[in-house]
């Protein structure tokens, strides 16, 4: 049964790996080509490109974390390698999460309609808001890396005798609990920010629709359409984000069951679904990316039709 489960989840993670690279690579490529043509790149395209590149790193991390211990188990034998692996994962995961959060803030400030002076001040200085958010995230990243390395040092000192086993530290329950708790805590902060911006967007849309009803306008206008598209994108983003966050939470709560292959499989598959699925949500929710994807699909379909053998 374990062999069947491992084969099934290996296929799932491999599909997520391929789709994640295709989706995020497509976003980065389209924005790069557009940047070269226009000699400029918009703020949202900068965020999307940075997010896509970090997501490519994420799917590679999940893919390698699954296959490397199977194929090269001795790679986990040294503390230095473990430190490098977890530090690299922390950095890539951090930027993947925070760039997605920054994108939510950008959509909120650009689309929401509030007359509040603080909101208007932030909207007029949206680039500064994004820069400050990024700087704050770097401080959080610095703290995250320090905490992770302190945990590694603590567990190495306490369990140094077990490190002769290639997976002694990585499978130690105490280390796994501390690591899972840290990831959950540091992921909770940007997740909360994204939820708040989502709720504010809903409130803004509700106020806008009520205002339109009182002014006897049609059921939809440009602002309403922008609200709805942003909400659809953010809803899909939050659903995937919730799965991603819950995978860490489950990982923390089930740290005492590290030998359960099914739990490990579910955690890894759920974690990889976020950077993979969100890339296609962004493509469908962005006009330029959606049009570029339709053009690519149309060309592929034409080529496949041309390659089909003609009838007698």
CATH of the domain at 107: 1.20.1070.10
Beta-carbon-side half-sphere exposure of residue 234 (alpha carbons within 13 Å)? 27
Q: pLDDT at position 156, please?
A: 67
Helix pair angle (261-285, 43-71), 10° resolution: 160
Which residue bears the tokens 């002694």? 168
User: What angle do the packed helices 79-111 and 222-253 form, to 10 degrees?
Assistant: 160
CA 69 from centroid of its chain's CA atoms: 24
The boundaries of the domain holding residue 130 are 1-161+168-214+223-296
pLDDT band for position 138 (cuts 50, 70, 90): very high
Q: What angle do CA 59, 65, 66 make, to 5 degrees?
A: 95
Residue 304 lies in a domain: no
Burial state string for 272-309 with b = 16 or more CB within 10 A and e = fewer than 16: bbbbbbbbbbbbebbeebeebbeeeeeeeeeeeeeeee
In a domain, 38, yes or no: yes
Instruction: Specify burial of residue 212 (Cβ count, 10 A radius: 0-12, 13-18, 19+).
Output: middle
Average pLDDT over residues 72-92: 73
* Domain contains 311: no
Q: Are 155 and 175 within 8 A, CB to CB?
A: yes
Does 310 reside within a domain?
A: no
| Mean pLDDT of the 89-114 span | 87
Residue appearing with tokens 């992770």:
148
- pLDDT at residue 213 tops 80: no
302 domain-assigned: no
Q: 311: pLDDT confidence band, cut at 50, 70 and 90?
A: very low
Contact 241, 191 (CB under 8 A): yes
What's the half-sphere exposure (Cβ side, CA atoms, 13 Å) at 18? 5
Residues 6 or more apart whose CB falls under 8 angstroms from that of 134 comprise 98, 102
pLDDT at 118 over 80: yes
**Total structural domains within the chain:** 1
Task: Tell whether 312 is covered by a domain.
Answer: no
Examine the pLDDT at 236 and tell me if it is beyond 90: no
| Distance from C-alpha of 214 to C-alpha of 97, rounded to nearest angstrom | 40
User: Lowest-confidence range among 3-17, 45-59, 209-223?
Assistant: 209-223
| Residue 173 belongs to some domain of the structure | yes
Is the pLDDT reported for residue 249 higher than 80? no
Residue the block writes with tokens 């970090």: 54
| Distance (Å, whole) CA 151 – CA 157 | 10
Q: Is residue 209 part of a domain?
A: yes
Q: Residue 155: which residues within 8 A CB-CB, separation 6 or more?
A: 169, 172, 174, 175, 178
Determine the Cα–Cα distance for residues 120 and 251; give it in Å rounded to an integer.
41
């Amino acid at each position: 049964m374990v062999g069947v489960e491992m084969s099934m989840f290996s296929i799932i993670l491999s599909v997520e790996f391929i789709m994640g690279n295709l989706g995020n690579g497509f976003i980065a490529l389209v924005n790069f080509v557009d940047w070269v043509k226009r000699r400029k790149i918009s703020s949202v395209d900068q965020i999307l490109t940075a997010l896509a590149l970090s997501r490519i790193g994420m799917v590679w991390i999940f893919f390698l974390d699954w296959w490397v211990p199977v194929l090269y188990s001795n790679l986990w034998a040294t503390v230095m390698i473990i430190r490098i692996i977890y530090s690299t994962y922390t950095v890539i995961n951090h930027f993947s999460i925070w760039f997605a959060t920054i994108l939510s803030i950008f959509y909120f400030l650009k689309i929401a309609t509030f007359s509040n002076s603080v909101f208007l001040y932030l909207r007029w200085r949206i680039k500064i808001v994004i820069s400050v958010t990024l700087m704050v995230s770097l401080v959080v990243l610095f703290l995250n890396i320090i905490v992770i390395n302190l945990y590694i040092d603590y567990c190495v000192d306490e369990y140094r005798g077990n490190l002769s086993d290639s997976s002694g530290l990585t499978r130690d329950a105490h280390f796994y609990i501390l690591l899972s708790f840290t990831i959950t805590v540091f992921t909770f902060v940007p997740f909360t920010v994204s939820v708040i911006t989502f709720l504010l967007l809903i409130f803004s849309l509700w106020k806008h629709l009520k205002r339109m009803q009182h002014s006897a306008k049609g059921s939809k206008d440009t602002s309403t359409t922008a609200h709805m598209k942003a909400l659809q994108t953010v809803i899909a983003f939050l659903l995937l984000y919730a799965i991603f966050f819950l995978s860490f939470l489950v990982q923390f709560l089930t740290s005492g069951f590290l030998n359960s292959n099914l739990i490990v499989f579910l955690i890894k598959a759920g974690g990889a679904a976020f950077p993979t699925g969100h890339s296609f949500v962004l493509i469908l929710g962005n006009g330029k990316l959606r049009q570029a994807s339709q053009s690519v699909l149309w060309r592929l379909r034409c080529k496949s039709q041309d390659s089909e053998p003609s009838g007698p």
